[in-house]
Amino acid sequence: MNKYLTTFLQHKSTPFLTFFLVLLYLIIYAAYIIIPPVRNPESISYFLAALSVHSIIAALLWNTLKTTMPSLLLLALLFFVPRMILFPMLPWLSDDVFGYLWYGHVTVHGMNPFEANADSPLYHHLRNASYNLMAYKQFPAIYPPLAELWIALGVWIGELWSDGWFAALMGWKSILFIMEIITFALIAKARTILSHSINKGVLLFALSPLPVIEIMGQAHNEGLILPLIIFMAIIASRLFHTQTPMLALVIGTIIGAMAAIKIYPIVLILPLIALRTLTWRNKIIIILTAITTLIAISAPFLYKPESLQQFANVLQFYNRTSFNSPPLIIIRELLALLNIQQWWHKAPTLLTFIRLAALIALAAFWYKHSKQQQTQTLNAQFFFVALATLLCFTILSPKVHTWYFVPILALNIITRFQSIALITTIQMASYALYLHTPPKEHHTLNFILWAIMLIPITKEFYKKWANPNGQN
């Protein structure tokens, strides 16, 4: 059936249908705006229904456009129009943004958001509507310093207009939209620098509702990483050709900056270290520069030992919240069967060690296969491993939120894994836990969905690894 559908959609006599699908794909973004911004079963059911229709239309558009070379104008249309539509969307799927705005407000007023809990008397005189709306007031800032600085800039922009939380939100979204503009500009540049076409990857990214909803709709700070991911890819491609130390220094700085936003991109050092054709001098430069950048950005905020300790303690609380990953559920069930004391709290730590072992094994695999070979092949395989590294870190995390996949989708612009679109669509279904009051996770359903999710990506990885320069 898919074969005949694809043939029909790609037929030269159906340009009107293609135009209609593009128009419908863009219009459905407006549906997310009109859903009542209240996180209850009714609104979630409307959201999941709109998302289901949206995903089907995106799949039809992909089948229509994937065999052609979409123009930069069309890609820009599919990229920017959805983001402009969702710019005014209120953040109701997640309340994280109100914590962003509060800590940004604290920073704007010259105070250290890592110094004390949000409900501390130290910040009492600064309390505003963002404070009233935020969750988890019993903790200090939970995002690394560079993220807090960007958020503070957005809040400052918003407070030039008004003291209300909505103005602060619009200021923060303005920062995210600027990051999206920079990202697309870098994508346009990458199309002329990288040794293989990335148009299909850009199309996959543009046709994915997830990054639009989670970044421009819900204002998650993963949007700050997007331009850095693309910039790193451009510089890495040049480094493999020239082995220039200055390029290694730039890559280390980029990775350190990403880690100062969300921490986990630091794992992208692993495929670089394991790359046998990269000189040890450049590897050392990358490691030292990344660490130096991270410390230099963090030191003004986390110079006190108690601030570091409080920052680390947040992770322990985080492991007790919702959106448990299937690997975490499996480990918890096994520990419970073995009558391990405090198995509920020990499971995340055990999963962290398993994740570390998996990342080391992946790096060892890359080290074994990254022998001297054609540079173009080496480039492609490096990005495959980088994508696999981020994906491994994400799916083996105790918690897996949908917005965690945004940087993976950005890197997939280079690797062009079609199954990534399936993964992101499935992950958006995790919001179904809010179909119940109180929220209830469907562990059996999650296991089934994750199996459906991982089988095609594994199959496609092996296929692409065997033919890294293929056009699929």
Over residues 309-324, the pLDDT tens digits come to 777 776 666 555 667 8
pLDDT bucket at 1, cuts 50 / 70 / 90:
very low
Beta bridge partners of 324: 399
DSSP state for residue 324 in the 8-state scheme: B
Please give the structure tokens belonging to residue 103: 């800590």
Answer whether 448's CB lies under 8 Å from 78's CB.
no
* Peptide linkage before 140 cis (omega within 30 of 0): no
Identity (one letter) of the amino acid at 290?
A
Tell me the C-alpha distance between 78 and 212, whole Å: 11
Please give the structure tokens belonging to residue 227: 């331009």
DSSP state for residue 76 in the 8-state scheme: H
Torsion of CA 59, 65, 69, 71, to 10 degrees: -90
pLDDT bucket at 196, cuts 50 / 70 / 90:
low
* CA-to-CA separations, 88 to 166, 167, 210, 441, in angstroms, rounded: 10, 11, 17, 29
Tell me the C-alpha distance between 211 and 83, whole Å: 9
pTM of the predicted model, to two decimals? 0.91
The stretch 232-237 carries a mean pLDDT of 92
The stretch 119-140 carries a mean pLDDT of 91
Answer whether 229's CB lies under 8 Å from 184's CB.
no
What pLDDT sits at residue 372?
57
The stretch 65-84 carries a mean pLDDT of 87
Answer whether 172's CB lies under 8 Å from 155's CB.
yes
**Percent of the chain that is helix, strand, coil (3-state, to 5):** 75, 0, 25
Q: Is 470 in a helix, a strand, or coil?
A: coil
Q: Domain-by-domain residue ranges, the chain?
A: 2-93+172-466
Q: What percent of the chain has pLDDT over 90?
A: 55
Answer whether 183's CB lies under 8 Å from 230's CB.
yes
Asked if pLDDT for residue 107 goes beyond 90, the answer is yes
Answer whether 412's CB lies under 8 Å from 204's CB.
yes
Tell me the C-alpha distance between 366 and 382, whole Å: 8
pLDDT bucket at 9, cuts 50 / 70 / 90:
very low
In sequence order, which residues have a C-beta less than 8 Å from that of residue 223 and are 6 or more positions away? 176, 179, 180, 215, 216, 406
Asked if pLDDT for residue 87 goes beyond 90, the answer is yes
Torsion sign (Cα): 132, 138, 143, 144: positive
Asked if pLDDT for residue 11 goes beyond 50, the answer is no
Please give the structure tokens belonging to residue 376: 């173009």
Please give the structure tokens belonging to residue 469: 């320069």
DSSP state for residue 439 in the 8-state scheme: -
Torsion sign (Cα): 465, 470, 471, 472: negative
Tell me the C-alpha distance between 422 and 272, whole Å: 28
Answer whether 374's CB lies under 8 Å from 241's CB.
no
Asked if pLDDT for residue 7 goes beyond 70, the answer is no
Answer whether 54's CB lies under 8 Å from 35's CB.
no
DSSP state for residue 429 in the 8-state scheme: G
Tell me the C-alpha distance between 113 and 116, whole Å: 7
Please give the structure tokens belonging to residue 224: 């700050």
> Any idea which residue has 């963002």 for tokens?
130
Helices (H), 66-95: 72-86
Tell me the C-alpha distance between 414 and 271, whole Å: 16
Mean pLDDT, the chain, rounded, equals 87
pLDDT in tens, 235-286: 998 898 888 999 999 999 999 999 999 999 999 999 999 998 899 999 999 9
DSSP state for residue 426 in the 8-state scheme: H
